[in-house]
Amino acid sequence: MSIVTLSSDIGIQDYIIGAIKGQIISACSNVQIVDVNHDLTPHNYPQAAYFCNQAFKYFPKKSIHIILLDCFEGNNEQFLISELNDQIVICPDNGLLTMLLGKKQLPVFSILLPSTQNILEITSVLANLIGQLDSKIPIAQVSQPAISIQQKIALQPSIGNDWIEGQVLFIDKFDNVIINITQQQFEEAAANRTFEINIPNNAGIYKISKNYADVPKGEVLAIFNAAGYLELAVNNGKMAALFGLRSFSTQKSTMSNLQANALFYQAIRIYFLNQ
């Protein structure tokens, strides 16, 4: 039995996700379908890559992961399929796959789509593909090598001699703020130096806590979360709201057309204080 996960920016307010599940079960009745996240933010590829990479690694090998994010951005003639860490990933050809793969150079295959399409026409093709994969037909036999694909560069922190600067990657339901700095990146940049995490409207954070209870209620803290990323929080409080931190946004139309289409991630800088 194949495990198929669904992640999307579609939401669950209407019938679309239910219809997609029906298509998959009709094509392959013995699959197990798992919802990962249907509230992905359109155009926010770093956040989607973070969510998906962190979730997918906990699934059994050869699980099939469908990501429906910005399905009509990029090359609308194909979806892409690749194996990443023994998981099968299927997503639009809009640059997301290159962010999921990172520096890994892996074979990428093309799934051709109908010339006139809506989302359910696309997922009908994907459902039939899943049926073939569940029958143990190799990827190379149900798709063709991708000649060219859209590419996007993963959002990475900037590093100087005495600082590292990351971007707000995600704000969770508790208003905790996740920064795109991993523990390894932080420790390599810190090189055992003391540090100050510079927070707007706050004196700063000078240590990494093990959990929220390491500081009194109402005080700010920094930890590395279960995914190994830097997280800023307030014990029993709302970090983002208290300090005006924002996640991904698009610039408003009061700017030029170029600026209006730009993507913005609020930055957090960490200063290293001595050698």
Please report whether residue 86 resides in a domain: yes
Q: How many domains does the chain have?
A: 2
The DSSP H or E segment spanning 68 is: strand 64-68
Q: In the prediction, which pLDDT does 256 show?
A: 42
Q: Which structural domain, as residue segments, surrounds residue 216?
A: 158-272
Distance (Å, whole) CA 258 – CA 247: 20
Q: In the prediction, which pLDDT does 75 show?
A: 82
Are 25 and 135 in the same domain? yes
Please report whether residue 85 resides in a domain: yes
Residue among 65, 78, 3 nearest 37 (CA) = 65
Are 122 and 60 in the same domain? yes
Burial string for 197-234 (b: 16+ CB within 10 Å, else e) reads bbbeeeeebeebbeebeebeeeebbbbbeebebbbbbb
Helix 119-134 vs helix 16-27: angle between axes, to the nearest 10 degrees?
Answer: 30
Give residues with Cβ within 8 angstroms of 265, minimum separation 6: 46, 155, 167, 168, 169, 247, 248
The one-letter amino acid code at 183 reads: Q
Are 68 and 130 in the same domain? yes
Q: In the prediction, which pLDDT does 275 show?
A: 61
Are 187 and 141 in the same domain? no
Are 191 and 263 in the same domain? yes
What distances in angstroms separate CA 198 from CA 176, 208, 221, one per listed residue? 16, 13, 12
Please report whether residue 120 resides in a domain: yes
How would you write the pLDDT of the chain (275 residues) with one tens digit per residue? 789 999 999 999 999 999 999 999 999 999 999 999 999 999 999 999 999 999 999 999 999 999 999 999 888 899 999 999 999 999 999 999 999 998 788 899 999 998 867 999 999 999 999 999 999 999 999 999 999 999 998 888 999 999 999 999 999 999 999 999 999 999 999 999 999 999 887 778 999 999 999 999 999 999 999 999 999 999 999 999 988 888 766 444 333 433 433 446 688 999 998 76
- Domain limit, last residue, from 145, 176, 205: 145
Q: In the prediction, which pLDDT does 32 show?
A: 96
Are 174 and 249 in the same domain? yes
Are 133 and 232 in the same domain? no
- Domain limit, last residue, from 118, 145, 172: 145
Burial string for 87-96 (b: 16+ CB within 10 Å, else e) reads bbbbbbbbbb
Q: In the prediction, which pLDDT does 264 show?
A: 60
Q: In the prediction, which pLDDT does 257 show?
A: 39
Distance (Å, whole) CA 185 – CA 183: 5
